Amino acid sequence: MNRAPLPSLLPRSFLALVGVLALVVSACGESVTPIAEARALETGATVTVEGYVSVQPGAFVSALGDEGFAVQDGTGGVYVKMDAKQTFGRGAHVRVTGTLDEQNQLRILKAAPEDVELRSGTQEVSPKAVSTGDVNESVEGQLITVAGAVTQPFQDDSPYGYKLYINDGSGEVQVFVHVSAGFDKATLQALSVGDSISVTGLAAQYEATYEVAPRQPDDLRRVAPRP
């Protein structure tokens, strides 16, 4: 009696091996580092982070010289430096792979368009309330809100931006308004020493100076009339 040949085990073994390899590759590709941990890595390290866009692409091009954006997760935030402007806006869910670097002492993640993956879902990033004297490395890269009295006259630093200084009693902080953020210069010039304002923006740094950089005109508002 002729017996039917046994089925070969090779296809099943091969498929199992392919499946394992696919899982390994997928796991490696999905490795995401919390932003706070990523910021602490050595300059030059390649890292993948994921979060929501807190500063829209191109808002700070006048001073930073690029079309980048900021991204934030539950641990921290970082500015992503990029030459090509992306089409998504604030609240977009993105995964970014890039190289850690410093630009005038601001921690940045340098990336190319192909290193940015748009993920599903959107979420508006809520700013963290911070005292003017507490704008420092601990909040750099995050979206924050500060409020206080204007302490110095308006300073024109065109074509890069405009400078204001405010203090809530805990220490003075610089507000750097990028020209590319769309503010009306005359409105800023009309602010006088003693006026109380609230500012929402990216906690940033330029050399030894920490600053708050608003993203658009409604990020800066007068909260009380001048006495």
pLDDT at 57: 98
Mean pLDDT, residues 155-179: 98
Assign 1 a pLDDT band (cuts: 50, 70, 90): very low
Residues 6 or more apart whose CB falls under 8 angstroms from that of 151 comprise 165, 166, 167, 172, 193
Q: With pLDDT > 70 as the criterion, what percentage of the chain qualifies? A: 85
Q: Could you give the count of Cα atoms lying within 13 Å of 56 in the half-sphere of its Cβ?
A: 14
CB 210 within 8 A of CB 202: no
CB 146 within 8 A of CB 130: yes
pLDDT digits (tens, 9 = 90+) for 180-214: 999 999 999 999 999 999 999 999 999 999 999 99
Would the pLDDT of 25 be above 80?
Answer: no
Least confident of 28-32, 83-87, 119-123, 141-145: 28-32
Assign 93 a pLDDT band (cuts: 50, 70, 90): very high
Do the strands 77-81 and 106-110 form a parallel or antiparallel pair, or are they unpaired? parallel
Map residue 191 onto helix, strand or coil: coil
Q: Which residue has the higher pLDDT, 180 or 226?
A: 180
At residue 181, φ and ψ (nearest 5 deg) are -80, -5
pLDDT at 35: 98
Q: Which residue has the higher pLDDT, 167 or 6?
A: 167
pLDDT at 4: 46
Assign 92 a pLDDT band (cuts: 50, 70, 90): very high
At residue 18, φ and ψ (nearest 5 deg) are -60, -40
pLDDT at 30: 60
